Structure 1
Amino acid sequence: MKVLIVDDTPINLLLLKSLVAKIEGCEPLTYEDPAKALAWCAEHEPDLVLLDYMMPNISGLEFLPRFRALPGCSEVPVLMVTADHEAEVRYRALDAGANDFLTKPVDRIEFLARAKNMLALRTSHKQLANRAEWLADEVRKATAEIVRRERETIFCLSRAAEYRDPETGAHIVRMAHYSRIIGRNLNLPEAELDMLFDAAPMHDIGKVGTPDNILLKPGRLDDAEFEIMKRHATIGYEILHASDSPLMQVAAVIAGSHHEKFDGSGYPAKLSGENIPLFGRIVAVADVFDALTSERPYKRAWKVDEAVAFLREWNGRHFDPRCIDAFFKGWDDVLAIKEQFRDEE
């Protein structure tokens, strides 16, 4: 353990250094200049400080608050050495951050007892800190495992919907990436971007409740069929909302709101403007763009320019203008994602 000794008198440094050397496992470090001692502490962390009270330039009382302000030094024990017996001096030193005192001339037995006590406290503190870090690391591992399982669940559910839906697996990958691009350009925090990316693939999970004759119909749906198709948004919300998982709750919001339109003409709740959850507004842009530019058994793939024209035409009506701006702000990334995750022939 490193014991820092700060005293402007060389003979005192020599005496304290020899006493510290008698304590097993301790390395004494001596400084006559308090400023140099502080500079060392800025780069290293001592385990005990033996500090003289009366020093020129920087006194012990001035040294203490500057020392305590350094990273890692707030809990390091400080044993102040003083020739002053007045209680007022000790009160000021305690207030400044000293833990204990020695009175000059230093008694060898008393010094060893007090120093060992301070070092024992330091050892306990470091063990507690290590234990806390270990526990925090275990919590991080457990949390990561929970997130991994949630992602696995989402993948399995998304695959289940995919088997019934003519849309491809690449669609949910692309639209998740598009959603993240939009969220990033809206300056969402990284944790929210991760949540959006993980939850977006669940947007159409409710289609597991849509009859095959409607879901797989090659032509245009009539009004009655479309009303049945629209139920998938509510079904998806109900499936996902039943979970207590924060990720599933976000996925439920996306499933239930990504078909709402900015002007209030969407479904299922006819929400408008910012009453539509932000993640729903983001996924609406990502989902529609990818659906338009992807080939399906019932339609051809639109050219990118045609899809762009559609998004701009319906900007402010179907789509949130902020989300449209964020989408085109990341246009180069959008095209790269589209090329990277192409549908299999």
Structure 2
Amino acid sequence: DSPFEFAPRELDSLSGDDGLEPRVLAWRAAQDWGDVRGLVVRTDARVAELMLSLVRETAEARNDEAKLLGVIARFAFEAFPNATHHVLVARNHDEAPLRTLIARARAGDASRVPLSRTIVDRVLRDGHALLFVQGEQLGSAGESVVMSRLETAIVAPLTGSRRPFGVLQLDVRKPARGRFTQNDLDMLSVFASQVGLALERLWLHLQQQRAFQSTISALVHSLTLKDRDVAQHCERVQKVSMAIGEQLGLSATELEILSVASLLHDLGKQGIRDEVLFKPGQLTEAERQEMDRHAAYTQSILDMIDYPADLWDVPRIAAYHHEKIDGSGPFGVAGHDIPPAARIISVADVFDALVSERSYKPALPAERALAKLEAGRDRDWDAAAVDALRAVAGDVLADVYGIEYDPPRSGEEPMERAA
């Protein structure tokens, strides 16, 4: 098969009303698709197996547009072996223009598979799946619309849970491959209903993801307005945390949780009085106790956000970034009761505090900072996280802090210099 394109583009391949005139041979209303699905799946074992596979694979690809479109493109040719081309156009909301999401040919150039504007408009308007054949071969009776270079085509609307938002067309352009039948139309109805639901689910997820990211960006901006130094500290802690997490082999979901929680871990410092937050010297014990409350403030702010299902634990993880393995942190949580991501953030947070210059202290050399963390392994900080930071220290110091770092060999002093 030739390569197929997924890059969304505004639909500029709709043909004008010229060329051959195929006529409508059969149609299937969307409201009948439920009955058709049951009939097709019960009577055709191959179709039943294909549909089960399609449902499974579209579910697995539900959050990845490129992967989902790849599944749809592959199944279209598997389900309709005589089809020579297929194209999918859709809009992700009512006011958006139609865009070509898939255009594929079994052989040759698939970049411009033509569609008839007449057909697209009608299918979107009526919500019917249609079977077309070449008009010249069936006489002048019936309803004609214009497409070009086609022997036969089946076209179905993509509906999901709302009105039609796209069109899926499969066609045959080589007479030797035969024509589509009523059974093909019924099968396309079943196929298109699943494709529509999968695309709608994907776009809803992406919309929610964009809304969530906008919320995160707004929170980070609010922290920047309060204290740019704290905001920059959070960004560095995020980078260090991610390096540790990747070294430890965290999954993609675990890394996403770690990324969000580490970036927002000090959000609660907005609730600390300015005279404490911006004090140029060491804090008194009372001031230290007030400062420690920022972790609880962080959780109270983050608890107000509606999170994607995978990220529900972000508030607790962010709030626990000062917890100690021995249970001496602000919340008194110990050992494995501290979420792994929070243990990573704790190490990254302390490391950044040590190697960064503050108004009340100079920056500590990286090797001394690492040694301090190692001295608190299994008492203050998670041993695996500390060891992972040691393993990636060279890259972290170069990428995050602009410092070239050569780990010391036995009996030698470590080398540190500006990159």
TM-score range with shorter-chain normalisation?
A: 0.5 to 0.7
Contact kept in structure 2, 1:260 and 1:266, CA below 8 Å: yes
Please say if 1:311 is aligned against 2:373.
Answer: yes
Note closer, same or farther for the CA distance 1:310–1:279 as it changes in structure 2 (3 Å cut). Answer: same
Note closer, same or farther for the CA distance 1:76–1:281 as it changes in structure 2 (3 Å cut). Answer: same
Please say if 1:251 is aligned against 2:251.
Answer: no
Give 1:98's aligned residue. Answer: none
Aligned partner of 1:138 among 180, 200, 209: 200
Give 2:97's aligned residue. Answer: none
Give 2:355's aligned residue. Answer: 293
Question: Shift of the alpha carbon at 1:282?
Answer: 1.0
CA RMSD in angstroms, aligned pairs only: 3.2
Contact kept in structure 1, 2:322 and 2:346, CA below 8 Å: yes
User: Which whole-Å CA distance do the structure 1 matches of 2:198 and 2:353 have between them?
Assistant: 43
Question: Shift of the alpha carbon at 1:318?
Answer: 1.3
Deviations 1:270-300 (A, max 9, x none): 1111011111111101111112111222222
Secondary structure of the equivalent of 1:330?
helix
Instruction: Point out the more displaced range, 232-241 or 290-299.
Output: 290-299
User: Which whole-Å CA distance do the structure 2 matches of 1:143 and 1:318 have between them?
Assistant: 39
User: Which whole-Å CA distance do the structure 1 matches of 2:78 and 2:342 have between them?
Assistant: 47
Aligned partner of 1:175 among 237, 240, 245: 237
Question: Shift of the alpha carbon at 1:265?
Answer: 1.3
Residue correspondence of structure 1 range 1-345 to structure 2 within 5 A: 119-165=181-227, 167-246=229-308, 249-267=312-330, 269-339=331-401
User: Which whole-Å CA distance do the structure 1 matches of 2:373 and 2:400 have between them?
Assistant: 16
Larger fraction in helix:
1
User: Which whole-Å CA distance do the structure 2 matches of 1:76 and 1:237 have between them?
Assistant: 53
Letter matched to residue 317 of structure 2: I
Letter matched to residue 145 of structure 1: Q
Note closer, same or farther for the CA distance 1:339–1:215 as it changes in structure 2 (3 Å cut). Answer: closer
Instruction: Point out the more displaced range, 248-257 or 150-159.
Output: 248-257
Give TM-score scaled by structure 2 length. 0.51
Question: Shift of the alpha carbon at 1:305?
Answer: 1.5
Letter matched to residue 251 of structure 1: V
Letter matched to residue 263 of structure 2: P
Instruction: Point out the more displaced range, 163-172 or 298-307.
Output: 163-172
Total equivalences in the alignment:
237
User: Which whole-Å CA distance do the structure 1 matches of 2:329 and 2:235 have between them?
Assistant: 24
User: Which whole-Å CA distance do the structure 1 matches of 2:191 and 2:301 have between them?
Assistant: 43
Letter matched to residue 237 of structure 2: M
Give TM-score scaled by structure 1 length. 0.61
Question: Shift of the alpha carbon at 1:206?
Answer: 0.9
- Structure scoring higher RCO (CA < 8 A, sep ≥ 6) equals 2
User: Which whole-Å CA distance do the structure 2 matches of 1:241 and 1:328 have between them?
Assistant: 33
Deviations 1:87-138 (A, max 9, x none): xxxxxxxxxxxxxxxxxxxxxxxxxxxxx99942333323432342243233
Secondary structure of the equivalent of 2:313?
helix
User: Which whole-Å CA distance do the structure 2 matches of 1:206 and 1:293 have between them?
Assistant: 22
Question: Shift of the alpha carbon at 1:74?
Answer: 8.9
Give 1:14's aligned residue. Answer: none
Q: Report % sequence identity.
A: 34
Question: Shift of the alpha carbon at 1:261?
Answer: 0.5
Note closer, same or farther for the CA distance 1:183–1:76 as it changes in structure 2 (3 Å cut). Answer: same
Contact kept in structure 2, 1:179 and 1:286, CA below 8 Å: yes
Question: Shift of the alpha carbon at 1:216?
Answer: 0.9
User: Which whole-Å CA distance do the structure 2 matches of 1:296 and 1:324 have between them?
Assistant: 23
Question: Shift of the alpha carbon at 1:152?
Answer: 2.2
Question: Shift of the alpha carbon at 1:75?
Answer: 6.6
Give 2:411's aligned residue. Answer: none
User: Which whole-Å CA distance do the structure 1 matches of 2:196 and 2:392 have between them?
Assistant: 40
Structure 2 residues not aligned, in runs of 5+: 1-23, 26-48, 54-73, 82-177, 404-419
Question: Shift of the alpha carbon at 1:251?
Answer: 3.0
Contact kept in structure 2, 1:181 and 1:330, CA below 8 Å: yes
Contact kept in structure 1, 2:302 and 2:315, CA below 8 Å: yes
User: Which whole-Å CA distance do the structure 2 matches of 1:256 and 1:133 have between them?
Assistant: 41
Note closer, same or farther for the CA distance 1:161–1:170 as it changes in structure 2 (3 Å cut). Answer: closer
Note closer, same or farther for the CA distance 1:329–1:131 as it changes in structure 2 (3 Å cut). Answer: farther
Structure 1 residues not aligned, in runs of 5+: 1-23, 26-64, 78-115
Deviations 1:210-261 (A, max 9, x none): 1111111111111111111111111111111133314774331123200001
Letter matched to residue 395 of structure 2: D
